[in-house]
Amino acid sequence: MYNLSQFKENDNQIILEFIEKYPFAVLIGSFDSGFQTATQIPLLLVERDGDIFLQGHIMRNTDHYKAFLENKKALVMFTGPTCYVSATWYNNPNIGSTWNYMTVQVSGTLSFMSEDDLISLMKKLTLKFESENFESSTIFDNLPNSYLNRMIPAIVGIEIKVNHISSIFKLSQDKDETSYLNVISKLESLGGENSIIASEMKKRKDSVFLSCNEDKPFN
């Protein structure tokens, strides 16, 4: 991960809220041989007895399932909005352009759930993403048994005990204030994910420049 201190998020609560907000993650595993696998799945964040866990499900009879049978070490990437930032928006435009982005990486140890725990997870998962709508036809408790009897044997529940969390919220913190504000303005005008990044930059502006001093290098 891009390991520069000015781009790190040091507030654990903000990091956990980010995981909750962007739950569709990339789950990466590796066979003992070193061959790697990856899949994208939604994950639930669970705090229990002072520890943090990620819960989800994957298909059986797939490379990623077989890899985790051999090697329980997992890496998970939660990625939020990204945007291109043109150097033409800076006070000094004669440098390279870049990307702003927000991402959290989690490493931990994976274990497989019992069928009862899988069913409990599926009830929580389907309710969460159906906005707690108990009348929805697609929540677990409203699905027909004929469907569940085919689906449940085909998947396996997973739980990852989190060992380490790292983050990069790269939001032009290394730029001078005029350039920073101009980046915000340009991103807002572009809309879409650009405006989400602009909003994050606005929220952080005071804390970014509170620590500025004359010795801080700007690009």
Question: Per-residue pLDDT tens for 177-212?
Answer: 999 999 999 999 999 999 999 999 999 999 899 755
The answer as to whether 211 is a domain residue is no
206 within a domain of the structure (yes/no): no
Predicted structure pTM score: 0.90
What pLDDT, in 10s, does the model give residues 58-81?
999 999 999 999 999 999 999 999
In our burial notation (b when 16+ CB lie closer than 10 A, e otherwise), range 184-202 reads: bebbeeeeeebbbbbebbe
Give the domain range for residue 44.
5-175
**Does 33 fall in a domain?**
yes
The strand pairing partners of 66, in sequence order, are: none
Count of domains for the chain: 1
Q: Does 214 reside within a domain?
A: no
CA distance 178 to 5: 22
Residue whose structure tokens are 């010795």:
215
Extract the tokens encoding 90.
């800076």
pLDDT of residue 219: 42
- Which CATH number belongs to the domain containing residue 58 in this structure? 2.30.110.10
In a domain, 22, yes or no: yes
The structure tokens listed for 173 are 């913190």
| Residues in the chain with pLDDT values less than 50 | 213-219
- Per-residue pLDDT, 212: 52
Residue 1's pLDDT is: 73
Q: Return the structure tokens found at 80.
A: 């939020």
Q: How confident is the model at residue 214, as a pLDDT? A: 42
Residue 67 in domain: yes
Residue 10 lies in a domain: yes
185 found inside a domain: no
